[in-house]
């Protein structure tokens, strides 16, 4: 069974006995020669926040790839869909390649999240819960895969540097790199996971080495984000590619008769 191994890899990132932290290949903090973080109108922080703010007033398609590495194993999740950030409506599908865990669908609308595979409900029913009550159960996972949560974390990155231009999603974009502080990393975590993450920070003697990247094209649009952490060889990387910015997003909300209220939704697919 692959599921226990996936959970073990994720849990390893929150171990209390970690004694070393390695940022890994390519994971390095900003240096003074790389246009360090600035609060000026044209500084890296302002550029990233402006791109995030613009997307929050627009719509886009997205594809998240979540890579888990640990104990000599590698696994990946994909989250795909479309989101109208301005209207707070969207839909997404979550898959574990290989089909080891059933596919999950989630719909965001009217301040609620509808989940197709919520535990304890019928096969044809949808679990439903208030969007603001969803919590994250793993490091660098959004509550019920909410892409707005990712944007909130990216907007909070600091010590930002301009890393140059790259071709991303078929366009030329500037890559910005920064770090996430402990408050941002633990945003909306469940209490038990927050406790484990606090313990990992205490064992390391510093914030967890969480790096964040944002790619912004020549029109000021956010086209890709990435967050990554590597603790004693256990790594999580979350990459979100954005496309079809400004295109309409159609959302079909489950019928009230097909929904059952839930208060907690777990499982690796649900973040």
Whole-structure pTM value: 0.85
pLDDT, tens digit, 9 for 90 and up, residues 110-164: 999 999 977 667 678 899 999 999 999 999 999 999 999 999 999 999 999 999 9
| Mean pLDDT, the chain, integer | 84
The mean per-residue pLDDT over the stretch 188-193 comes to: 95
pLDDT class of 223 with cuts at 50, 70, 90: very high
- C-alpha–C-alpha distance, residues 188 and 152, integer Å: 11
> Token match 């997205």: residue?
62
As a dihedral over the C-alpha atoms of residue 115, residue 117, residue 120, residue 121, rounded to 10 degrees, the angle is 70
Q: Above 60 in pLDDT, residue 5? A: no
Which range in 19-28, 101-110, 135-144 is most confidently predicted, on average pLDDT? 135-144
- Which of 209, 238, 208 is CA-nearest to residue 224? 238
The mean per-residue pLDDT over the stretch 234-245 comes to: 95
Q: How far is CA 144 from CA 100, 108, 240, in A?
A: 19, 10, 15
pLDDT class of 238 with cuts at 50, 70, 90: very high
- Which of 40, 57, 49 is CA-nearest to residue 155? 49
pLDDT class of 31 with cuts at 50, 70, 90: very low
Q: Report the pLDDT value the prediction gives residue 7, as an integer from 0 to 100.
A: 38
- Which of 3, 64, 13 is CA-nearest to residue 236? 13
Instruction: Specify the higher pLDDT residue, 126 or 10.
Output: 126
Percentage of residues of the chain with pLDDT beyond 90 = 66
- C-alpha–C-alpha distance, residues 111 and 270, integer Å: 17
Dihedral sign (CA 183, 188, 191, 195):
negative
Cα 63 → chain centroid: 11
- C-alpha–C-alpha distance, residues 137 and 269, integer Å: 10
The mean per-residue pLDDT over the stretch 237-261 comes to: 96
Q: Report the pLDDT value the prediction gives residue 259, as an integer from 0 to 100.
A: 94
Structure-block tokens of residue 258: 């097909």
pLDDT class of 34 with cuts at 50, 70, 90: very low
Q: Report the pLDDT value the prediction gives residue 192, as an integer from 0 to 100.
A: 95
Q: Above 60 in pLDDT, residue 203? A: yes
Cα 112 → chain centroid: 19
Q: Above 60 in pLDDT, residue 15? A: no
The mean per-residue pLDDT over the stretch 204-213 comes to: 94
**Strands (E) located in the chain:** 59-70, 73-84, 89-95, 104-109, 112-115, 126-130, 158-168, 171-179, 210-217, 222-231, 234-243, 259-261
Structure-block tokens of residue 78: 């994909």
- C-alpha–C-alpha distance, residues 196 and 192, integer Å: 6
Instruction: Specify the higher pLDDT residue, 270 or 111.
Output: 111
**Paired strand residues for 113:** 108, 129
pLDDT, tens digit, 9 for 90 and up, residues 42-95: 699 999 999 999 999 999 999 999 998 877 788 899 999 999 999 999 999 999
């Amino acid at each position: 069974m692959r599921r226990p191994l996936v959970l073990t890899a994720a849990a390893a990132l929150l171990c209390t006995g970690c004694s070393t932290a390695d940022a890994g290949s390519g994971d390095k903090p900003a240096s003074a020669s790389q246009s360090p973080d600035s609060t000026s109108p044209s500084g890296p922080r302002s550029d990233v926040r402006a791109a995030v703010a613009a997307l929050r007033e627009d719509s886009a398609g997205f594809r998240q790839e979540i890579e888990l590495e640990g104990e000599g194993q590698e696994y990946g999740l994909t989250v795909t869909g479309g989101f109208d950030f301005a209207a707070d409506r969207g839909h997404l599908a979550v898959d574990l390649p290989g089909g080891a865990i059933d596919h999950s669908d989630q719909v965001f609308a009217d301040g609620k999240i509808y989940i197709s595979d919520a535990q304890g409900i019928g096969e044809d029913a949808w679990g439903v819960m208030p969007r603001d009550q969803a919590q994250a159960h793993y490091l660098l996972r959004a509550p019920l895969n909410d892409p707005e949560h990712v944007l909130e974390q990216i907007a909070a990155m600091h010590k930002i540097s301009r890393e140059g231009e790259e071709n991303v999603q078929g366009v030329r974009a500037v890559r910005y790199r920064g770090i996430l502080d402990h408050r941002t990393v633990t945003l909306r975590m469940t209490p038990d996971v927050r406790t484990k993450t606090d313990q990992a920070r205490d064992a390391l003697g510093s914030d967890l080495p969480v790096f964040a990247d944002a790619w912004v094209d020549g029109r000021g649009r956010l086209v890709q984000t990435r967050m990554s952490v590597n603790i004693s060889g256990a790594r999580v990387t979350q990459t979100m590619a954005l496309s079809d910015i400004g295109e309409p997003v159609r959302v079909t909300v489950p019928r009230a008769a097909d929904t059952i209220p839930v208060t907690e939704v777990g499982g690796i697919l649900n973040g």
